[in-house]
Chain A
């Protein structure tokens, strides 16, 4: 098993006819993911063709859901229209909306998040790489790839990975895979200051998932989401957890690429977050090269088998 998505999950791609969306639609289809519909307003009735597969395009998410029974939608819509695209998922009662889009204004996300309170839709992102639950096939194909992560670096297994950053997630996944340690699900929650699913939300899901035996928690400077997750882990999580925080050398007050990666005070520095991790029993990776090894150390100490 895995969290949030399985190889059977049916997904919609909003923005499938744009360059970015189309490219990743093809990669997901190649990976074996059940891409059952595309959505582009005004292009309903057309199809998206790739490698002998024909994906129907609808003009609205509601139409796509009604026709295909899809439960997840991934959003590749440009920033000015992305907030609307997320709300369209909420209206269509999509279970999971994954917003890949980078550069959505904060005010739009503040309003979207408020509008989503009490709704049945979960949001992952925005400004995130998406999710992967690796499959059984060659190079982990046959799994569910939602977003922009490279599918082939994964391996089906029992480690959950949660991170704000794309490439840093791939780094962790790759370290695990070359050590022959597979992953249950890898979740990129995104680098924006206002996002949907938090580190803690994902940690709770991993903790409840019997198929996830260990967790890598990757964070960065800015905000207190990692600290919130760490405190919960200390009280509630018995699984081995390794952690890494990026941005120890970042100057205060500067945004380091991600809109949310900014040191605002004494509590959201890498140093402060690492101190909380240690206090909460999380095995801290000294460098990003040490993430898989850190998890192995934690697993050994707790007598847990990861592979």
Chain B
């Protein structure tokens, strides 16, 4: 689960991670009071969306920059008015962009040098890793590719936690002076504590900056959380912004379905994540394009199948449906009945190819054949995929 920058900064404040003073609002009437709550000087105006690349983004009306530096209060208000309610397109949003529903004002910082800092899970060692770089403000993947020697990693033993010597080594590698080192070590320790206590998936600060007086500040904040751990963090769940999520994905989650919208034309309904991913792949292999990932889980019920059909058909790009079920334990006939009921309930004008395999498959196929509906049966994944690709072509 992702949160906005201004929410992440509020958590930073709780954990003693210094960042420039800021204030957020969703109402243009509050712009002035937000800015007044900050100190004198420059104001940074930041669009709040769950996607990176905001600074270099462009709004759909042509206004450039989702992050702007304003010299005066009037200028800041002008920028904020252009951002709020406008749609921002960045390299991470896709062409459709995201509507900006909140604007965040922060004090401008006196930047001496920019760094990169993150805490995340290292899968190879199954340990948390602190990643830092002297190349701040840049895309870290580019840094990793071009100058890997400027990225420093500290692997943390979960039994002991982040050790002082590791922090000392890290700040030394970053080339920080005495005052900066002390401040940075404290900030990194607090960030690591937050990572653990809040069950974060990743915390990324890019850039982390030093000021001319040796302060160390988190200028940006990108935080995501482990969805599996949300049950023990109601305070994090409260930060969820449904405006940032696809309505079809929200609807799917209510029925325990795992759905991800894509931009193709063939909708898929599959049981199991691995099979669902490879169903998308096989559609592409035969020249089609998948409209979604949809895993109905191991024990799909009739209600879930009906809900899944409704969600799939809510996507206007969909031109055909591919149902791929390997009913290992679940009864194929139960699934077949669910499909027939779903089709009858929601009405279907699009081609539908069903591939059923597994437990009680003969009865399931008979149910589909005897339903009077135009359902094309596929013998294998390959056969069914070719059929649906041909039907939507």
Interface SS majority for chain B: mixed
Instruction: Let me know if A258 and B274 touch, CB within 8 A.
Output: yes
Give min CB distance, A248 to chain B, whole Å: 5
Question: Closest residue of chain A to B383, judged by CB?
Answer: A289
Q: A62 near B: Cβ within 8 Å?
A: no
Instruction: Let me know if B141 and A165 touch, CB within 8 A.
Output: no
Chain B contacts for A174, CB-based, 8 A:
326, 357-358
Chain B contacts for A295, CB-based, 8 A:
none
Chain A contacts for B295, CB-based, 8 A:
257
Interface 1/0 per residue, A213-234 and B, CB below 8 Å = 0000010111111001000000
Q: A44 near B: Cβ within 8 Å?
A: no
- Counting chain B CB atoms within 10 Å of each CB, the highest count among A171, A222, A250, A270 belongs to A171
Chain B contacts for A228, CB-based, 8 A:
124
**In the bound complex, what is the Cα–Cα distance between A167 and B275 (angstroms)?**
6
Instruction: Let me know if A246 and B123 touch, CB within 8 A.
Output: no
Q: B276 near A: Cβ within 8 Å?
A: yes
Instruction: Let me know if A194 and B281 touch, CB within 8 A.
Output: no
- Size range of the interface on B? 35 or more
Instruction: Let me know if A166 and B282 touch, CB within 8 A.
Output: no
Question: Which A244-263 residues have C-beta < 8 A from chain B?
Answer: 244, 246-251, 253-261
**In the bound complex, what is the Cα–Cα distance between A222 and B199 (angstroms)?**
20
Instruction: Let me know if A256 and B228 touch, CB within 8 A.
Output: no
Instruction: Let me know if A223 and B328 touch, CB within 8 A.
Output: no
**In the bound complex, what is the Cα–Cα distance between A167 and B298 (angstroms)?**
8
Q: B159 near A: Cβ within 8 Å?
A: yes
**In the bound complex, what is the Cα–Cα distance between A19 and B193 (angstroms)?**
37
Q: Give the total number of A-B pairs whose CB atoms are below 8 A apart.
A: 170
Chain A contacts for B328, CB-based, 8 A:
148-150, 153, 166-167, 170
Instruction: Let me know if A248 and B127 touch, CB within 8 A.
Output: no
Question: Closest residue of chain B to A264, judged by CB?
Answer: B123
Give min CB distance, B363 to chain A, whole Å: 15
Give min CB distance, A165 to chain B, whole Å: 2
Give min CB distance, A100 to chain B, whole Å: 10
Count residues on chain A whose CB falls below 8 Å from chain B CBs: 65
A-B contact pairs, 29 of them (CB 8 A): A27-B329, A80-B232, A104-B228, A105-B228, A107-B199, A110-B127, A111-B159, A153-B328, A164-B274, A165-B273, A166-B272, A170-B326, A170-B358, A218-B274, A220-B274, A223-B124, A246-B274, A247-B281, A249-B262, A249-B290, A251-B260, A256-B260, A257-B276, A259-B227, A261-B274, A287-B285, A288-B275, A288-B282, A289-B382
Binding site for A on B (CB under 8 A): 92, 121, 123-124, 126-128, 141, 144, 157-159, 196, 199, 201, 226-229, 231-232, 258, 260, 262, 270-285, 290, 293, 295, 298, 326, 328-329, 357-359, 380-383, 385
